Amino acid sequence: METNTTPKYIFVTGGVTSSLGKGIVASSLGMLLEARGYRVTIQKLDPYINVDPGTLNPYEHGECYVTEDGAETDLDLGHYERFLNRATSRANSVTTGRIYQTVIEKERRGDYLGKTVQVVPHITNEIKRRIKLLGNTGDYDIIITEIGGTVGDIESLPYIETIRQLTWELGEDNSLVIHLTLVPYLAASGELKTKPTQHSVRTLMESGIQANVLVTRTEHHLPKEVKAKLAQFCNVKKENVIECMDASTIYEVPFLLHEQNFDEVVLKGLDLPTDQEPNFTVWKKFLDNHKNPKNEIEIALVGKYVSLHDSYKSITEAFTHAAATCETNVKVRWVYSGDITEDNIAEQLKGVSGILIAPGFGDRGILGKIIAANYARRNNIPTLGICLGMQIMAIEFARNVLGYEKADSAEMDLTTPHPVISLMEDQKDVSDKGGTMRLGNWKCRLSKHSRIEKIYNSTDILERHRHRYEFNNDYEVEFVENGFIAVGKNPETELVEILEHKQHPYYIGVQFHPEYKSTVASPHPLFISFIEAALLSNQNDLMHATREKI
CB burial of residue 490 (10 Å; 0-12, 13-18, 19+): middle
Residue whose C-alpha is closest to residue 30's, from 90, 69, 79: 79
Are 74 and 18 in contact by the 8 Å Cβ rule? The answer is no
| pLDDT tens for the 550 residues of the chain, in order | 545 568 999 999 998 888 888 999 999 999 999 999 999 999 999 898 888 776 666 656 678 889 999 888 888 899 999 999 999 999 999 999 999 999 999 999 999 888 999 999 999 999 999 999 999 999 999 999 999 889 989 999 999 999 999 999 998 899 999 999 999 988 888 889 999 999 999 999 999 999 999 999 998 899 999 999 999 999 999 999 999 998 889 999 999 999 999 999 999 999 999 999 999 999 999 999 999 999 999 999 999 988 888 889 999 999 999 999 999 999 999 999 999 999 999 999 999 999 999 998 877 889 999 999 999 999 999 999 999 999 999 999 999 999 999 999 998 888 999 999 998 665 455 444 444 578 899 999 999 989 999 999 999 999 999 988 999 999 999 999 999 999 999 999 899 999 999 999 999 999 999 999 999 999 999 999 999 999 998 776 655 555 455 5
Active site residue 387: yes
| Active-site entry in 81, 396, 515, 524 | 515
| Active-site entry in 387, 453, 467, 501 | 387
Active site residue 467: no
Q: Cα separation of 521 and 379, whole Å? A: 34
Residue whose C-alpha is closest to residue 401's, from 329, 502, 310: 502
Q: Cα separation of 345 and 139, whole Å? A: 51
> Is the peptide bond preceding residue 293 cis, with omega within 30 degrees of 0?
no
| DSSP three-state, residue 140 | coil
Phi-psi region of 325 (alpha: psi -120 to 50; beta: other; left: phi over 0): alpha
R_g (Cα) of the chain, nearest Å: 25
Confirm whether residue 181 is marked as ligand binding: no
Q: Cα separation of 329 and 295, whole Å? A: 6
Are 519 and 85 in contact by the 8 Å Cβ rule? The answer is yes
> What is the residue-wise DSSP string for 366-417?
HHHHHHHHHHHHHTT--EEEETHHHHHHHHHHHHHTS--TTEEETTT-TT-S
Confirm whether residue 41 is marked as ligand binding: no
Confirm whether residue 192 is marked as ligand binding: no
Topology agreement, domain 8-278 and domain 290-541: yes
Contacts of 276 (CB under 8 A, 6+ apart): 1, 36, 37
Residue 58, pLDDT score: 65
Starting at the earlier edge strand, list the strands of the sheet with 407-409: 407-409, 418-423, 469-471
Domain 8-278 has CATH 1.10.510.10: no
Confirm whether residue 390 is marked as ligand binding: yes
Confirm whether residue 131 is marked as ligand binding: no
Q: Which amino acid is at 422?
A: S
b/e string for 205-243 if b means 16 or more Cβ within 10 A? Answer: eeeebebbbbbbbbeeebeeebbebbbeebebeeebbbb
Residue 434, pLDDT score: 47
Residue whose C-alpha is closest to residue 527's, from 375, 377, 312: 312
Q: Cα separation of 68 and 73, whole Å? A: 11
Are 321 and 288 in contact by the 8 Å Cβ rule? The answer is no
Beta-carbon neighbour count of residue 114 at 10 Å? 7
Q: Cα separation of 273 and 372, whole Å? A: 56
Confirm whether residue 190 is marked as ligand binding: no
Active site residue 515: yes
How far lies 247's CA from each of 133, 226, 261, in Å? 34, 21, 17
| DSSP three-state, residue 61 | helix
Residue whose C-alpha is closest to residue 30's, from 258, 370, 216, 318: 258
Q: Cα separation of 118 and 100, whole Å? A: 11
Residue whose C-alpha is closest to residue 534's, from 291, 369, 328, 306: 328
Confirm whether residue 320 is marked as ligand binding: no
549 phi/psi in degrees, rounded to 5: -65, -40
Q: Which helix (H) or strand (E) holds 200?
A: helix 195-206
Residue 61, pLDDT score: 62
Residue 57, pLDDT score: 62
CATH number for the domain running over 290-541: 3.40.50.880
Q: Cα separation of 427 and 436, whole Å? A: 7
Q: Which helix (H) or strand (E) holds 424?
A: none
Residue 431, pLDDT score: 47
Confirm whether residue 315 is marked as ligand binding: no
Phi-psi region of 427 (alpha: psi -120 to 50; beta: other; left: phi over 0): alpha
pTM of the model: 0.90
How far lies 395's CA from each of 124, 366, 483, in Å? 50, 10, 15
Residue 437, pLDDT score: 75
| Active-site entry in 418, 467, 504, 513 | 513
How far lies 423's CA from each of 153, 226, 426, 445, in Å? 41, 60, 8, 22
Pair type for strands 213-218 and 175-182? parallel
Query: Where do the domains of the chain lie?
Result: 8-278, 290-541
Are 472 and 453 in contact by the 8 Å Cβ rule? The answer is no
